[in-house]
Structure 1
Amino acid sequence: MLGVTLFRPGPEQVERLCALASAGFAAVIAFDNGGLPAGAAERLARAGVTLLSEGTNLGIAEALNRIAAAAQAAGAGALLLLDQDAEPPGDLAAALLTAQDRLRAAGIPAAVVGPAPAPAPGHKAPAYPPRPGAPGHGDLAPVQFLATSGSLVDLAAFARVGPFRGDFFIDGVELEWCFRAWSLGYSCYQTRAVAIPHRVGGGTIRAFGIAMPRQPLFRMGTYLRNAIYAWRLPHVPLRWKLAQAAYLPLQAGLYWADSGWRPAVLLRLLAAARDGALGRLGPPRDLPRDEPRDLP
């Protein structure tokens, strides 16, 4: 089963989802987090897409949870997740199902299996740190976490690990969930047999050997808040917390410099850090309004 999250999709993204629906998946479920163009819902329904929505932006975590719940209710055993920007290779699902079967045969309980990340033009590809002490299996490598887009989730494992954190809303959702899966005896694996390009933000900020996505301020603030809050979670490894303690100030500084040293940006980042330390989570206060657009 295929699950796709939507937020203000453009005409080309709607058409891409319609094409995926006709590509032979058992079923396609999409969650509209707001801004679906007029007429697009009918177009998706005609293509065979089951469209879920609450009429507002619930965040990526809750959208994924709603998709997973619908897939479980339909009796699916595995769920391939994509975002609206994803351009998956035709063999993605088959490669991930094969990887999942190989891990099961080897007695490795994988909660999620994902493709290798590939750079999209003008975007930085994510990097998945290896999981120390976990066994590799041919071209399958254990990693600390994977991006949700492009990943195949075992729904039985999902039921045990629990849902994605809705109060994280958007950033760090997969990271926290994968660390939780590892802590409960499950694993996360990347296969080098297939790759998928990732687009995060509107370009890349590069300085001093560091590359990070250029994102809207509300996204950077939410990322910073959630990363700092994760320091209090026992299932997040100490090594990761220490690395983040060193890395986050550099990222925040580079983001501020890229903004032209605007005081308002610095104040927003400081407020995000405070919110993370105090556990003030949920939707960011400066979240853009979800206004629908018309399809041409």
Structure 2
Amino acid sequence: MKKEYTLSQQFALISLDGLSCNHRSAAKYAALRGIAAAKLLEEILLGREDMPAVQEFQTELEASIAAIKNRKKKEMDAVERETADLLLADGGIEIVPDLLGCDMNYYTAGISMKSYRSDREVYLSIVESVRAEILEEGPITMECACLLWLIRESGCIHDICSVKEQEKIQVRMTALCGEEELTDADYIGMIWRQEFHRSGEHMIKSFLKGKRELFKNPYLEGVNLLFPFLDRRQAIFVDFVIFGTTVKDRRWAMMEFLSERGHFVEETKNGSETLLRIDNAYYRVWPKTVRSYKIPIQGASLLPVYW
């Protein structure tokens, strides 16, 4: 029997996927605040038999989001433990070697790193359900609107929607919030206007925006800065002989290396290009030579692909 996940659990399965389970980061705290915000919505909106008064809901929402933004790190760590323990117990997520640990600088130093990995079928089911509801014609449920807001605010939207799709989402949600005859529109509009990031995370987003505009970094290709962007995934370098190899040879060498270290890896076509799907994310293999103590080292970089 297919398990039904709550809003906060669905969001956790998307936002915690690929994040370190034993290190703090801006992306992780954005995810944890999102989980706290999801629990709030379950309590004051989704869990009620009747809709609250609009003004009452707005007052409680704004005050509660402000409190979530000011929660201390220890409180956020408690949110992580509670959520992760439940999902680990039912198999929704598992703890696996962190992809960053496959970088030459980490594995040669013997550094062990762990991260969360969501069940592939569950992850895809949630993502495809959201995409189908928001990108296709038809009504949008309150739960989907809430989940989409959480995905937007945590920076996860760049992992699951292309630039054009994000633009379509923005247009559709703006129109939805302006539909006076729709009973849920006022509530969705209030939620859609809220943010749960702290000022330091806004600084990171501003830095990345400047980085994008000034340097046109291909690492950020496909990022639509219409929505918040947090660096949830990093490029890594793996050393192996590339002289005399083909593009396919390099992909297979990378796939073999990552598979041996506990990752699910498969090829996937993107137009004329072949990408690697590693666990629940997509990467591009890029040949590269780096220098260590002035000695050239051949290999390839894995670059995150944002649609």
Q: What is the TM-score when the length of structure 2 is the normalising length?
A: 0.30
TM-score (norm 1): 0.31
More helix by share: 2
Structure index of larger Rg = 2
